[in-house]
Structure 1
């Protein structure tokens, strides 16, 4: 045991400064509201994954905000058109 703690006659423990926030988040994770939010995310996340994996949203092709916004808009339109044809 002396090898583990050295010459100290005591052991110390520390508590994170975020302990209270972590407890609040853990308590929220047990609520029904969290389960509803999680269900919504489970429906939305695959759409972002498809845009990233198959439609080039992992990295933008253009510079400047207007061109990037246009790329995102066109990708969203393409995904929605695909969804419309899938739902028909």
Structure 2
């Protein structure tokens, strides 16, 4: 991960504009990754159902919730729940 330091010669407006542009770029990447995750999750679900399994694997979802909580704290759990809902639908 690259970290940047503020250019001390830039105006606050320019610094904010640059930072917002970077945020927009990051958001585009995050959205793309979520869409990719949704597609991979669909393959897992379809394969599980085709082989006689259930659509949702709760112990796996608990692992995912724990990973996000450990990395991001309590808000990470909410983020993981949203991701799971996007990827598998409501249960």
Task: Output the TM-score relative to the length of structure 1.
Answer: 0.32
Structure number with bigger Rg: 1
Give the number of the structure whose residues are more often helix, by fraction. Answer: 2
Task: Output the TM-score relative to the length of structure 2.
Answer: 0.31
